[in-house]
Amino acid sequence: MLYKRLSELSGEEKDKLINRGGELADVGETVASIIRDVKDNGDEALRSYTKKFDRADIGAIEVSKDEIEEAVSSIDKSLLKHLEFAAENIRKFHQAQMPEKMWFMELSPGIELGQKFTPLESVGAYVPGGRASYPSTALMTIIPARVAGVKRVVMCTPPGPDGKVNPLTLAAAKVAGADHVYRIGGVQAVAAMAYGTESVDQVSKIVGPGNVFVTAAKMQVRDMAEIDFPAGPSEVLIIADDTADAAMAASDIIAQAEHDPNSVSVLVTSSEKLAEDVHREVLEQASKAARSDIVNASLENAAVLVADSMESCIEFSNDFAPEHLEIMVENSDSVLSDIDNAGSVFVGNYAPVPVGDYASGTNHVLPTAGYAKMYSGLNILHFLKCASIQRISKEGLETLKDSVISIAEEEGLMAHAESIRTRFRN
């Protein structure tokens, strides 16, 4: 774990933090090979890769309705209620994001301009498996699609060695409203949703997080299916001052670290004492962590940095562009107003990342590896298409015709100009 003054970071140390997530190119050829195989051989390839990577022999690729119902009935009723509670909060938040389906403005007499939002035909939700099951991701990816009005929503998630999908993940898929669930994961699942197979229908868009292979696969299939954004190993950056609680900040670093050995956790603070206390707390809490092997591996990517000022903390954060940003400072509104790049922001000592991971209602599918500089986290607009509209009368066209004709002729598009003149000849 790096523990240093921000101003004393070497170029190599800063580059490792800022330019993280460069592994996509390293796996590109492997990913392309799997995609081609699934495209050419369909279900046969899906079963082969599931055997190879998940150590599972699967017959039916789609999870049956009976299997889903059996999974739901096996879930503890109180846990199911918690799942439904989280689902309702996620639903409410994304309903609030819905734009007006169609609107118009009068630009000038005879000219009305507007927009019309239409839901996508189909969406594929990728829900990771592997080191843990993520029923929460089923909620985060499927519910916004349903709120937006997407007609067909499917989910892919890897099975366990017994060929079965985690029961809670299946329950979450039902609560969220998935039409179909497939027991496939990894690159092969992304390829199946993008190109279609005998069992898996092609979708218009693929959303959801995954490891470096899944992320690379999403980037490679964009000629067939739109994607949300690159979403790889999870990360948090915490901006704190001396009013922050060291044990709380340290616990948030440990919570992030337990996701994955490649997760990244950073604290940047204007307080030397807080940095010292958090560093000590992290090491102490890591020794007691349930997933200590993953936590300790992840802490190799972690850093506690002491900045000369809060302005330096903010500047570093905007450069880092974290997936999750926690703000633990006295004057949080001032810091928040200067944040330009972050996937999701958590303000105050009592707003740790896990609340957004599960139940506050905001979405936990977020851009990682600095992509928050150019992408927004998953939201309702990812599931909608927007068409512009113009209603123009002859009176309105009269006010535009000279400009249109002049520009069209300058571009050498004489028929464009003629289509305007034609309307005024008689």
Residue 180 annotated to the active site: no
Residue 195, marked binder: no
Q: Is the dihedral of CA 139, 145, 151, 155 positive or negative?
A: negative
The one catalytic residue in 235, 258, 323, 326 is: 323
364 labelled ligand-binding: no
- Annotated catalytic, 323? yes
Longest dimension (CA), the chain: 86
CB atoms within 10 A of CB 79: 12
Does 411 belong to an annotated binding site? yes
CA 185/CA 170 separation, integer angstroms: 14
**Residue 379: C-alpha distances to residues 86, 208, 326, 366, 382 (Å):** 16, 12, 20, 10, 6
Residue 301 and residue 267 in contact, taking contact as beta carbons nearer than 8 Å: no
Considering just the CA atoms, what is the radius of gyration of the chain in Å? 25
Rounded to whole angstroms, the Cα distance separating 152 from 142 reads: 10
Annotated binding residue at 134?
A: no
94 among annotated binding-site residues:
no
Closest CA to 42 of 221, 198, 206: 198
Token code pair at residue 239: 């901006």
> Which residue out of 279, 324, 364, 382 is catalytically annotated?
324
Which runs of consecutive H residues, i.e. helices, occur in 228-268? 246-257
Tokens 């299939």 sit at which residue? 221
Q: How far apart are CA 146 and CA 119, in angstroms?
A: 9
Distance CA 181, CA 59 (A): 14
The first and second tokens of residue 71, run together, are 């999974």
Check the annotation: does 19 bind a ligand. no
Please check if 211 is assigned to a binding site. yes
CA–CA gap between residue 89 and residue 134 (Å, rounded): 17
Q: What is the DSSP letter of 98?
A: P
Question: Does the annotation list 256 as a binding residue?
Answer: yes
Residue ranges of the binding site: 126, 188, 211, 234, 256, 259, 324, 357, 411, 416
Query: Could you give the residue numbers annotated as active site?
Result: 323-324
Q: Which residues are annotated as a binding site for substrate?
A: 234, 256, 259, 324, 357, 411, 416
Which residues are annotated binding-site positions for NAD(+)? 126, 188, 211
Enumerate the known binding-site residues for Zn(2+). 256, 259, 357, 416
